[in-house]
Structure 1
Amino acid sequence: MEEERALAAFAALSQETRLRIVRLLVQAGPEGMAAGAIGEAIEATTSRLSFHLTHLEHAGLIQSRRDGRFIIYSALYPSFSGLIEFLMRDCCQGHPEICTPAVAAMACACEPAATGKA
């Protein structure tokens, strides 16, 4: 990720409502959430929600898709990986112990989904 794109992403995340939306969408997983459900969860008016979703989409942090009458938004996980990589690119300077806590914090604590096979 280049600096200009990272700056746009961090600027988008620096606003409370947009940060809450992103955290909600990350939690929702790849299937995402309908715009109405996002609005209910963060208690935002339709016009304000639309403004924030557009801002996040332009920053490359989320994407939208139409599903019938609904617009579904989901997090763009590669963008978040790119932001982390951008921040950590020159972290260690030959001392990997410096980065160990950050790397440990990034470890996913999710349990794999059950496949139903025994």
Structure 2
Amino acid sequence: MRSARHRLHGHLTAHGLDPDDACLVLSELVGNALLHGGDSAAVAWRLDGDRLHIGVADGAALGLTVLQQHCARDGGRGLFLVDLLAEEWGVRPLGDAGKEVWCRLAVRAA
């Protein structure tokens, strides 16, 4: 997870963009993939102007839960944060290979 976050940070800062929200979102998506989807996750991103598309694939079946902010449970709010920070997000089935959780977010100049 750290390696992907550092690569994304470097990529965005090299383009003069603020990496903070994007790196938080990436960390949450990768963390969920590793926690619920197995031992590995495939990470990809694409920068298109001031929009960043992030995709994280894992081997787990579909089915995600978004906990609300007022929930008393410790942890489990990663997708709530993604929902707050991203313009849109969703899940794309990959057949027997699992799923990809993706999001699109705006990135601003640093």
Q: Same fold (TM over 0.5)?
A: no
The TM-score normalised by the length of structure 1 is: 0.29
More helix by share: 1
More strand by share: 2
The TM-score normalised by the length of structure 2 is: 0.30
Structure number with larger C-alpha Rg: 1
